[in-house]
Amino acid sequence: MKYEERESKPRQREIGRIQLLTLKDYGLEPYHTVLDIGCGSLRGGYWIAKFVSQGTYIGVEREQSAQTGQRCVEEYELKNVTVCVKDEIGDLKFDFGWSYGLFNHRNCNYIAELLHWAIPKCYRFFANYRGEPVPVDDMYGNQPSANQSTEVFVADMARLGIVVKPLGSIRDPSVQQLAEFSIAK
């Protein structure tokens, strides 16, 4: 199955392309290495991996989702791309860390634990978040951390040792915001 068949709705493909454009806005180059947390079926990873053709793209997912992601790598015939579980990353370092949508489905404690693992592996780490409260049908049964105002989100993450630097609206026409994340010193 090709990317266009799996991501059959134009809006889905556009969200993938927006992810690449967002990272390019912050300096992504073809020779960079990218760690994508919660890469799923490579909606954004497809575009990012094609762009970093001289670098490496590694997507991280939970066990079953990692298997689906790796099948997508093969179906899309992507080069220099791996999808795996986080325990398989080892001591690798990355130019960019990225996550799109993770904050919309998980609570602050889970996200902070994941970020404390991922951020030290990345020169820069970016992710989107909602930026304002909106009704969410959360498939994981959690109160998503990003379903709150920017001020509350930033304060919650600070309480857990994560510094959030809001960067403004993402190119996505929804309420999505972009931030750069670091570990509190």
Q: What share of the chain is helix, strand, coil (3-state, %, to 5)?
A: 40, 25, 40
Contacts of 83 (CB under 8 A, 6+ apart): 39, 42, 45, 58, 59, 60, 61, 66, 69, 70, 72, 73
Contact 181, 162 (CB under 8 A): yes
Please say if the pLDDT value at position 126 is more than 90: yes
The structure's pTM equals 0.87
Q: Where are the domains of the chain?
A: 3-183
Confidence (pLDDT) at 92 = 92
| Domain covering 3-183 assigned CATH 3.40.50.12140 in the classification | no
- For 37-57, what is the mean pLDDT? 91
Confidence (pLDDT) at 185 = 86
